[in-house]
């Protein structure tokens, strides 16, 4: 498991999944049950984060928006680490805000613990921690030399750094490894991501933008009096700055890295910004004082979400999940010669190869020299999934020079190609499936 994580993401989610299956049966239903529980945890975390910033009403609205959010709901049904990334990001910021406000040891410990889980869940956890470090520096510059606050910050930084040191060699090795599959986003990526977060729901796209604008207007309409910041809550303008820095740097840091080194910016990874975006929208709605108007807005959100899920995206009727199972079934049916199967998503595919008691399994293509591995192979299967090509650019180049596609199965979010060495007498066959459409 740890060896696999060295080629993917840190092991927190996989360790959690491993021990989950020690308690419950090893099947898809219980795996998705864990993802759903993590999603519920994300809804609860958003309630407390909203309550921390602006009280119970904001907390309730933030949790409602999270529960109905297309992006969050999608990953709450996926056995992947993005739901956990959302949850721990929200918790890390919750305790970060509490530490800034109250400076209690209990909150410091909770912040350190949640931040460590965050770092060991996904590499974009480092983006969150760097964002918080920049935010912390800005807070110190505004407060002057606060000895206790600085002590808390230094202690948290040292503990987190020491605890993450064991994984540092993996990061260095990964950085010097082959190019990622991610492509450089276009200039309009923020708009595209925003539409994706909301499931292309036009009503919510407009309504949420107006709510965020209303929040901005109301915040800067609040008088910044000396007594506005209290132990109960920071001043609204301070929270606005904290949230603004969170959102801007959640995109800005990966964008700068993508420009200067290699592309790493992808909508799934930017789920670290989603809690802040939903919170900003919830804060805008919370400034609506009229109860009838608030209930009307909630009704519009619920109704438009239900309509979008049912008639626009066909979320519960059309196939939208990656069809790894169906691809494996197709390969098992067609691979009579039992030729080798390669994929950079072997971990996902091998669950189904084991489930169907296949006499072979997918081989992880990461780092394999195809020139050596395929020198005697007349045919080879390549499995793709999760938006990747199944192999590296170098491996794909070798296949293009020495093989031709003899058979292809295309499904939703997953596909399989049988490559045949050029010069073979087998007939070229292209099979495209439209299952789930």
254-264 residue pLDDT tens: 999 999 988 99
Q: What per-residue confidence (pLDDT) applies to 434?
A: 41
CA distance 70 to 83: 12
Q: How far apart are CA 419 and CA 360, in angstroms?
A: 18
Q: Per-residue confidence at 387, pLDDT binned at 50, 70, 90? A: confident
Confidence of residue 10 (pLDDT cuts 50, 70, 90): confident
Tokens of 390: 């199944």
Q: What are 187's strand-pairing partners?
A: none
Of 98, 102, 101, the closest CA to residue 112 belongs to: 98
Q: Which of 342, 397, 347, 417 is nearest to 373 (CA)?
A: 342
Contact 89, 275 (CB under 8 A): yes
Mean per-residue pLDDT of the chain: 89
In this prediction, what percent of the chain has a pLDDT beyond 70? Answer: 91
Q: E strands along 271-357, which residues?
A: 341-343
Strands ordered across the beta sheet of 379-385: 362-364, 341-343, 379-385, 414-421, 403-411
Does residue 103 have a pLDDT over 60? yes
Q: What Å distances lie between residue 310 and 198, 245, 314, CA to CA?
A: 14, 36, 5
Q: What tokens appear for 135 in the block? A: 């935010």
3-class DSSP state for residue 429?
coil
Residue 187: is its pLDDT beyond 60? Answer: yes
199 sits in the region (left: phi over 0; alpha: psi -120 to 50; else beta) called left
The pLDDT tens digits for 282-321 are 999 999 999 999 999 999 999 999 999 998 888 888 887 8
Least confident of 5-9, 247-251, 381-385: 5-9
Q: What's the full length of the chain, in residues? A: 437
Whole-number Å distance between alpha carbons of 187 and 120: 31
SS3 188: coil
CB of 233 closer than 8 Å to CB of 54: yes
* Residue closest to 99 by CA, chosen among 58, 144, 140: 140
Q: Where are the alpha helices (DSSP H) in 335-382?
A: 346-355, 370-373
User: Residue 436 above 90 pLDDT?
Assistant: no
Q: pTM for the whole thing?
A: 0.86
pLDDT at 176 > cutoff 70: no
User: Could you write out the three-class secondary structure of 240-257?
Assistant: HHHHHHHHHHHHHHHHHH
């Amino acid at each position: 498991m740890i060896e696999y994580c060295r080629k993917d993401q840190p092991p927190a989610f996989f360790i959690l999944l491993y021990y989950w299956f020690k308690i419950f049966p090893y099947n898809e239903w219980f795996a998705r049950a864990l993802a759903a529980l993590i999603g519920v945890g994300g809804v609860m975390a958003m309630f407390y984060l909203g309550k921390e910033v602006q009280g119970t009403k904001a907390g309730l609205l933030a949790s409602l928006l999270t529960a109905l959010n297309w992006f969050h709901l999608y990953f709450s049904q996926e056995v992947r680490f993005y739901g956990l990334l959302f949850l721990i990001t929200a918790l890390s910021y919750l305790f970060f805000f509490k530490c800034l406000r109250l400076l209690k040891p209990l909150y410091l410990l909770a912040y350190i613990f949640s931040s460590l889980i965050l770092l060991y869940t996904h590499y974009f956890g480092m983006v969150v921690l760097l964002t918080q470090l920049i935010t912390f520096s800005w807070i110190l510059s505004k407060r002057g030399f606060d000895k206790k606050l600085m002590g808390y910050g230094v202690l948290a930084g040292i503990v987190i750094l020491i605890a993450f040191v064991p994984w540092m060699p993996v990061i260095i090795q990964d950085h010097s490894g082959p190019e990622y599959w991610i492509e450089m986003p276009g200039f309009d990526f923020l708009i595209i991501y925003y539409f994706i977060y909301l499931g292309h729901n036009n009503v919510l796209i407009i309504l949420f933008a107006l709510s965020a604008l209303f929040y901005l207007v109301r915040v800067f309409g609040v008088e910044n009096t000396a007594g506005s910041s209290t132990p109960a809550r920071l001043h609204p303008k301070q929270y606005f700055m904290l949230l603004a820095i969170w959102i801007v740097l959640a995109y800005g840091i990966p964008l700068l890295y993508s420009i200067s080194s290699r592309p790493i910016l992808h909508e799934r990874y930017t789920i670290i910004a989603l809690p802040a975006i939903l919170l900003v929208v919830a804060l805008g709605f919370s400034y609506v004082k009229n109860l009838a108007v608030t209930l009307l807005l909630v009704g519009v959100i619920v109704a438009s979400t239900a309509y979008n899920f049912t008639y626009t995206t066909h979320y519960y009727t059309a196939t939208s999940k990656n069809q790894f199972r169906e691809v494996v079934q197709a390969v098992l049916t067609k691979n009579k010669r039992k030729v080798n199967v390669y994929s950079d998503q072997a971990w996902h595919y091998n669950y189904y190869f084991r489930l169907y008691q296949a006499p072979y399994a997918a081989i992880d293509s990461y780092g394999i020299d195809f020139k050596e591995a395929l020198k005697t192979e007349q045919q080879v299967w390549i499995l793709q999934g999760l938006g990747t090509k199944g192999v590296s650019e170098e491996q794909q180049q070798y296949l293009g020079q020495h093989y031709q596609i003899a058979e292809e199965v295309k499904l939703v979010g997953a596909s399989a190609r049988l490559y045949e060495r050029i010069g073979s007498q087998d007939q070229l066959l292209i099979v495209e499936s439209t299952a789930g459409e």
